[in-house]
Amino acid sequence: MQRLRIDRDIRSMTEFRTGIASFLKQVHDTKRPLIITQHGKGAAVLLDVGEYESMQEKLELLKDIQTSISQIENGEGIDHKDAKEMILNRVTK
């Protein structure tokens, strides 16, 4: 995801309502999120679908890494040699 540009990527709800199509195109073309404000405060974020999916994949990977770290710290890890053997046994069956 591209870095937010404050001068271009924060719009009021009123501006958003009157220019939805152009803001959707902006988000798609720039891959930057659009912050929508209401009464001067952040109300929503508009993201390109591909950028959202990429962000979700990264979050899932980070959760998997954190789970792995916790398992290793709790002594629940599997030795590399044993893990490799288990996987090879599954693949060759």
- The string of pLDDT tens digits covering residues 57-83 is 999 999 999 999 999 899 998 888 999
The confidence score (pLDDT) of residue 41 equals 94
Distance between CA 36 and CA 23 in Å, rounded?
Answer: 10
Cα 9 to the center of its chain, rounded Å: 18
> pTM higher than 0.85, yes or no?
no
The pLDDT score that the predictor gives to residue 22 is 95
Structure tokens at 32: 């930057």
What is the residue-averaged pLDDT of the chain?
A: 92
Write down all domains in the chain, each with its CATH number in brackets: 1-75 (3.40.1620.10)
Rounded Cα–Cα distance for residues 60 and 71 (Å): 16
Residue 14 has pLDDT above 80, yes or no: yes
